Amino acid sequence: MKRRPNPFAKPLTKQVTISLGIDVIEYFQNMAQKEGVSYQELINLYLQDCVTSQRQLSVN
């Protein structure tokens, strides 16, 4: 029997490509190593916290 995707399940994540500064990547890699998680997961957790708290960026 052929499997088919569940039409009611929505994706939990979506893969994207983003350019980040080397210093930003190194910062999150160092933090992630200390926490024992991947740096991609750590960046996602940080951004999710921004969404949840509706943090506004001040661009000057």
Average pLDDT over residues 31-37: 95
**Average pLDDT of the chain, as a whole number:** 90
Helix-helix angle 22-35:39-52, to 10 degrees: 100
Q: What is the identity of the amino acid at 23?
A: D
- Residue whose token pair is 């506004």: 56
Q: Is the pLDDT of residue 28 over 80?
A: yes
Q: Is the pLDDT of residue 36 over 80?
A: yes
Q: Is the pLDDT of residue 2 over 90?
A: no
pLDDT per residue as tens digits for the range 40-49 = 999 999 999 9
